[in-house]
A and B are shown apart, each in its own frame.
Chain A
């Protein structure tokens, strides 16, 4: 029995994001940021939202909605989501600047261990974004991705890997999970034939 209507709304909202498409976009975003770091052009990471955000709605309309259907949530949910999205964008931009500055100035950092961990910063930044995404879509799955990014960041940095390589490895893992989720969703949910009254 559903305990209250807020729980029902949350359950419906969460189910809206369980198809794996957002996970796939997140993984591609991490991979784009990883490639840009690998080519020593970290600012190129801004290409990820610039490329992915415009195609999100058309892809979802084409791939997911014929199977899942369409739902529009109430104003309070929309306001909350928009506010959190705004916070995420500002926090992400601010943290990206900090990360780039810290990475470029890593040679001036006193101890070797701290200098090594600087390579983990981009992954840690994306982990923060993943936690915010988790709140945004009311799904603990993105907390797991955040954990993967943190682990990959710290482990990779301690092994002396470059940030790009760390992000590519973490991104590849998230990509695989996303593909499995999406494939499972597509298989389990064939396109519904239109039903008219």
Chain B
């Protein structure tokens, strides 16, 4: 009797699987770039949490950070990198595959 191979479960990127980071990446995926204050407002995260999550995304090179000054105010702009866009696409594909395989 032949054994049936277990269906292969796609790997989920754990960095993206965290709700706050996923939310931030989703926001960054639909705009060209945005600053910290705008992300703070639109995401609803706390300053500390946003700062930590953006650091993680930046360390993973999913997001690029551009620091500058506007007048005497520091401005930090965030932009999704190509790698970030690909990671988001792969995450969506894998999650859809997993959800599709779930029984009703």
Contacts from A to B (Cβ < 8 Å): 2, 5-6, 8-9, 12, 15, 61, 65-75, 189, 192, 194-197
Q: How many A-B residue pairs have CB under 8 A?
A: 73
Q: Are A192 and B37 in contact (CB under 8 A)?
A: yes
Tell me, in angstroms, the Cα distance from A72 to B33 when the chains sit together. 5
Q: A15-B42, A194-B73, A197-B51 are in contact. Are A8 and B26 (CB under 8 A)?
A: yes
Tell me, in angstroms, the Cα distance from A8 to B74 when the chains sit together. 28
Known interface pairs A8-B27, A12-B27; 19 further A-B residue pairs with C-beta atoms within 8 A, sorted by A's residue number: A5-B29, A8-B30, A9-B31, A68-B37, A69-B35, A69-B39, A70-B38, A70-B77, A71-B35, A72-B31, A72-B34, A74-B30, A74-B31, A74-B32, A194-B73, A194-B74, A195-B36, A195-B51, A197-B65
* Chain B stretch 58-102: residues in CB contact (< 8 A) with chain A: 58, 65, 67, 70, 73-77
Q: Are A70 and B51 in contact (CB under 8 A)?
A: no
Interface of B, secondary structure class, is helix
What is the distance, in angstroms, from A18's C-beta to the closest C-beta of chain B?
A: 11
Q: How many residues of B contact A (CB 8 A)?
A: 30
Is B47 positioned at the interface, with any CB of A under 8 Å from its CB? yes
Q: Are B35 and A70 in contact (CB under 8 A)?
A: yes
A-B contact pairs, 30 of them (CB 8 A): A2-B26, A5-B30, A6-B30, A8-B26, A8-B30, A9-B30, A12-B27, A12-B31, A12-B42, A68-B38, A69-B35, A69-B37, A69-B39, A69-B40, A70-B34, A70-B37, A70-B38, A70-B75, A71-B35, A73-B31, A74-B31, A75-B32, A189-B41, A194-B74, A195-B40, A195-B50, A196-B67, A196-B74, A196-B76, A197-B58
Contacts from B to A (Cβ < 8 Å): 26-27, 29-42, 47, 50-51, 54-55, 58, 65, 67, 70, 73-77
